[in-house]
Structure 1
Amino acid sequence: MIDRSRARLLTWASILTGLLALLTVLVIGEWQRLIDFDVETSTELTDWTRQHDGLVDVLKIVETATDTIAAVIVTALIALILLVKGQRRAAIYTVGVVAISSGITHLMKWLVDRDRPSWHLLTEQYTNGSYPSGHATYIVAIAGVLLVLSQMFLRRASARHLVAVLLVLLVLLVFADRVHLGRHFISDVVAGALVAIVCVLVGLVVFSPQPKLQVEAAAAPLVSSVPASSRDLHVVLNPIKVDDVGQFQAIVGAMAAEGGWNEPVWHLTTIEDPGTGMAHAASVAGADLVIVCGGDGTVREVCAELAGTGIPVGIVPAGTGNLLARNLDIPLYIRSAIDVALTGQDRAIDMVDVSGDGFDDTHFMVMAGMGFDAAIMEGVNEDIKKKVGWLAYVLSGMKSLMFPAVRVEISVDDQPFTKHRARTVVVGNVGFLQAGMPLLPDASIDDGVLDVVILHPKRFLSWLPIVWRVMAKRNKTDETLDRMTGRKVVVRAASDTPRQLDGDSIGPGRELVMECVHGRLLVKVPR
């Protein structure tokens, strides 16, 4: 809906407005066929409801939950959440659609002044006009707004479809509520729905809820670490991470043109090459900016290849974890992320060189781990992950929660090894993991050092105080939770142990050697 042309949106709005006008003329003119249909259908449904006392009580709850007071509260909460998330235009759109549709409904009630059905079931009698239904207008308006927001913020088509189905069921419930209680005729409900849909569509035409490019609002030009000479833009895209590659390319192309960039040059990753070759090709071609869209694995490959080149990287997170983007405060909404990638401030961040047994020398941007956390990554069912996203990690975590403790030795900055028992050892370049958990609260991605946390809960219930200490950012350390900091970290396990880099399993082994490379990569971050 949000990517439809204005002409198409206006066409549909005009058609629905015409239907609303026709219905209104028929109601005012008391067209007999419409009156007979309204009366017969409404009385039958109300009589059937009268025979089920429990159903009347349920419908009364539905009526109260969608009345004017509830409408104002829910609309205000949605707008407040959007404002906190930095989506000011979406918040204005939400309030505007609900307020204008409600205003039109009340004006039509006054102009048409249609009497309400006389066979209502509840003792409280409404005295204002019956046409159109205010409850129907509100529920369709808020459902339309939420449908628009879901298309903006939910990347998975399955999630958007689920939201749409739930919203349709909610709308039908309220429609049934108005007729079964004898509060409205069916034509009242239809008219209320038409008013709301027209407002949703016209709202998209006159005031897009999508954020505008930051460059339009910039008070002064930003200083680039490496000034772009030709404004050449290259994009590395993992095609399986977006629903419609063509649509994504069109969005990036339009926003790039608006920001003064040349037509993007596209590089699509493959199973054989997750991003390294594409980033190399962009570098050789003289790119002034490379945007990477994909999960943490794709982002890691592209960033590693461009490290040290002076070419800034714009990150459009499209994976499940998106840990690097989250720690850089890059928005997860794709259009906003593209905006930051095109117009954000350059920031030099650290990356980490990694070596060990059983794999070629590589790197990570976010974290490495041995033990429980790596076992979670190994145990994730990819089919479930595609359907429910990060919940797949929760399911795997529950199965791996009591991963057996292993003996490990840790050396920091070439100092003597210290011995520990641990269920997991995490070495991080950032502070926050999934769900905003501050596992390494003192870590910073540009401080030139790595932060280490060693967790050793002795039994299942021991996880509870550890989680409390982590969430509360307590500095206390002991044998269940210990911390270290240094530029170089070596972790050795007494037996083969699962290992992961940036959430990708690299197989079991006994050693990880990690060294922080300070300020190695330029990335675009919010102003």
Structure 2
Amino acid sequence: MAAPLTAPPTAPLAPRQRLRIGAWGLACWVVLALVGLFQGQGWPPVTWLDSLAAGAGDTVWVSPDDEAMFRVLLTIEDVFSPSGITTMVVLLAIALLALGRGRLAIITVITPLVVGRLTSLLKVTYGRERPAWQNTDGFLESGSFPSGHASGTGALVALLALVVLVAVPSVLGRRVLLGVLAVIQVVVCLDRVLLGRHYPSDTVAGTLLGVGAVLVAVALYPPQGGTRRGETPTPGTQDEAGEPVAQGRPLAVVLNPVKVSDPDAFVEMVAGMAATRGWAPPRVYLTTVEDPGHGMTRAALRDGAELVLVCGGDGTVREVCATMAGTGVPVGIVPAGTGNLLARNLDIPLYRRPALECALGGETKAVDLVAVRGDGLEETHFLVMAGMGLDAAIMESVNEEFKARVGWLAYVFSGIKASMFPTIKLEISVDGGEFTTHRARMAVVGNVGYLTAGMPLLPDATIDDGRLDVVLLYPRGLLSWVPLAARVLLRQRHTDDLVNRMTGRTITLRSASAVPRQLDGDPCGEGRELEMTCLPGELLVRVPGERVTPWAVAAKVNARLTAGASTPS
């Protein structure tokens, strides 16, 4: 999925979010004022920290043998000097303007200027002298509190952090980059202390000043913007003044409140992002224990929704998608469960903001749905997989509280406990043919290729081929699991008694005795039979747009050349 910086403007911040961000910015300034007060009055713990640095300054910070280190420190000082910060800010602002992020570029230019003026004002107000251990190279005599390097770098780091939060969809990627930015700020602060330019409290105060200023600026002037240059506002977007242009298309959200820690904040996020995509404020339908999504989805369709977003685990997604089948209305998936199997197989992002970008602005794809009947079951559907035997026993024995803490690893522990599940005798019919008898510990019928933890159990299965893939696993003993796992992970396709595979549009499984069964990872009770029929293209789902890469282009060119070569002249 393309980075949001090259996509339409970021979702507007909801009033509650703006208030929260502004409160954090003001909190930084309040702490800054307290640091200044404690420093001026000689109160701990500020004095303890500064005294510790002063006590070590005469013996550690300055030494004739530290020439190499001082070269490094002086380089850091030059790079993050006011002129260095100004250069980086200008380059960042130019890049943001080129990407159509005018409001964020304005914040990037204005905030460091304000921070610089506030730093100069506070230096004059406090009039604190520089530390006695200051290095003579580049000796400074101006006020010491707060550190100008720390405040300027703090503002720059906070601005870059904002860009990371907007542009990087991966949570892991965001965490890594934010960690790097935090390290940069710490290094600059240490540089000021080691060179003797500032006391530690000066650098803390400077950091609070810079970061707080950016937070206040974002709260006062949210960087969501209107349309980019040359674009016409779509219905439901905001103009340059931040006012809504027009009502958009009807949108519904079916939400499992158990899977979202703050449903109100999630709905605000959806509303903000929907506005920039031309959608009206969403109608929200909360699932219940008694109704995991069917009734809510029917209500959303009756209310005229042109897109239904579902946020929940695999069970909620299955219920909503089954109800949406054949309606011609697309469904957007925001995964919030443990397995999130459908989202993984459709390459839908697993994190909320990029998943919403995909759901609101991605491509619409027709995928297969599978109708299911069985003894003791009401007629229902699944999207990912159904199973009888060991896999269903694993699903049944998973502790929900433990799963909430450790995620999919809970299935591993449950699998170890259920590894000696007894062999079952199965009869299988493919496309109405004669039943054949098999022995297995588990039978999985899949509509997709990858199951829990990315296991390629059905490597040939795709969700839009109009067929179902079956795999039977029959490890005879504990040691048999090792070659079985190797064959699955290596995607070996040959069949035998250990791993057997079949494919067809209609699959019927019959067991000699009642065994556990599951649909899309949810236990559905013991029984002896499952009859499954693939319904091609029955459901419309929003998926990420096709990425244009050199490999994709080369593959297309090669396919066309191959097709041309094989066509009779």
State TM-score, norm by structure 2.
0.64
Structure 2 counterpart of 1:9, from 3, 12, 21: 21
What residue number does 2:240 align with?
Answer: none
- Alignment CA distance shift 1:41-1:201 (3 Å): closer
Secondary structure of the 2:343 match is helix
C-alpha displacement at 1:263, in angstroms? 3.1
Distance 1:211 1:459 in 2: 62
- Alignment CA distance shift 1:7-1:363 (3 Å): closer
What residue number does 2:453 align with?
Answer: 435
Distance 2:161 2:361 in 1: 28
Q: Does 1:391 align with 2:403?
A: no
C-alpha displacement at 1:351, in angstroms? 0.6
Structure 1 counterpart of 2:201, from 187, 190, 209: 187
Distance 2:149 2:420 in 1: 56
CA displacement, residues 58-89 of structure 1 (integer Å, 9 cap, x when unaligned): xxxxxxxxxx9xxxxxxxxxxxxxxxxxxx99
Secondary structure of the 2:448 match is coil
Distance 1:454 1:337 in 2: 34
What residue number does 1:353 align with?
Answer: 371
Secondary structure of the 2:377 match is coil
Whether contact under 8 Å (1:145, 1:200) holds in the other structure is no
- Alignment CA distance shift 1:46-1:510 (3 Å): farther
Q: Does 1:510 align with 2:510?
A: no
C-alpha displacement at 1:408, in angstroms? 1.6
What residue number does 2:319 align with?
Answer: 301
Write the mapping of 1:89-488 to structure 2, written as runs, cut at 5 A: 186-188=200-202, 190-191=204-205, 193-194=207-208, 197-198=211-212, 201=215, 231-488=249-506
Distance 1:240 1:426 in 2: 29
CA displacement, residues 144-192 of structure 1 (integer Å, 9 cap, x when unaligned): 969x969x9899xxxxxxx9xx99xx99x99xx99xx999954256346
CA displacement, residues 91-117 of structure 1 (integer Å, 9 cap, x when unaligned): xx9xx99xx99xx99xx9xxx998778
CA displacement, residues 489-521 of structure 1 (integer Å, 9 cap, x when unaligned): 111222221110001101112211111111111
C-alpha displacement at 1:374, in angstroms? 0.6
- Alignment CA distance shift 1:117-1:322 (3 Å): farther
Distance 1:304 1:499 in 2: 19
CA displacement, residues 41-67 of structure 1 (integer Å, 9 cap, x when unaligned): 56669999xxxxxxxxxxxxxxxxxxx
Contiguous gaps of at least 5 residues in structure 1: 49-67, 69-87, 119-125, 156-162, 221-228
CA displacement, residues 263-296 of structure 1 (integer Å, 9 cap, x when unaligned): 3223222222111122222223333222222221
CA displacement, residues 471-502 of structure 1 (integer Å, 9 cap, x when unaligned): 22222322211211111111122222111000
Secondary structure of the 1:451 match is strand
Using the TM superposition, name which of 415-424 and 324-333 deviates more. Answer: 415-424
- Alignment CA distance shift 1:334-1:188 (3 Å): same
Distance 2:300 2:532 in 1: 28
Whether contact under 8 Å (2:472, 2:499) holds in the other structure is yes
Using the TM superposition, name which of 457-466 and 498-507 deviates more. Answer: 457-466
2:424 aligned partner, one-letter code? V
2:21 aligned partner, one-letter code? L
- Alignment CA distance shift 1:36-1:323 (3 Å): closer
Distance 1:217 1:479 in 2: 61
State TM-score, norm by structure 1.
0.69
Whether contact under 8 Å (1:324, 1:365) holds in the other structure is yes
Using the TM superposition, name which of 249-258 and 504-513 deviates more. Answer: 249-258
Contiguous gaps of at least 5 residues in structure 2: 1-12, 57-75, 77-98, 235-246, 546-569
Q: What is the number of equivalent residue pairs in this alignment?
A: 465
Distance 1:345 1:467 in 2: 35
Secondary structure of the 2:518 match is strand
1:514 aligned partner, one-letter code? M
Distance 2:226 2:130 in 1: 46
Whether contact under 8 Å (2:408, 2:453) holds in the other structure is no
- Alignment CA distance shift 1:279-1:37 (3 Å): closer
CA displacement, residues 293-347 of structure 1 (integer Å, 9 cap, x when unaligned): 2221111112112211211112222222211111111112222222222222211
C-alpha displacement at 1:353, in angstroms? 0.9
Q: RMSD over aligned Cα, in angstroms?
A: 5.6
- Alignment CA distance shift 1:248-1:418 (3 Å): same
Distance 1:431 1:278 in 2: 30
1:338 aligned partner, one-letter code? L
Secondary structure of the 1:361 match is strand
C-alpha displacement at 1:431, in angstroms? 0.8
Distance 2:273 2:259 in 1: 20
- Alignment CA distance shift 1:133-1:437 (3 Å): farther
Distance 2:24 2:48 in 1: 31
C-alpha displacement at 1:201, in angstroms? 3.1
CA displacement, residues 9-53 of structure 1 (integer Å, 9 cap, x when unaligned): 3565366458659968x99xxx775599767656669999xxxxx
Whether contact under 8 Å (1:236, 1:291) holds in the other structure is yes
Using the TM superposition, name which of 394-403 and 499-508 deviates more. Answer: 394-403
Distance 2:214 2:373 in 1: 55
Whether contact under 8 Å (1:117, 1:185) holds in the other structure is no
Whether contact under 8 Å (1:492, 1:511) holds in the other structure is yes
What residue number does 1:54 align with?
Answer: none
- Alignment CA distance shift 1:264-1:44 (3 Å): closer
CA displacement, residues 371-409 of structure 1 (integer Å, 9 cap, x when unaligned): 111111100112222333333223212211232222222
- Alignment CA distance shift 1:457-1:309 (3 Å): same
Distance 1:128 1:417 in 2: 90
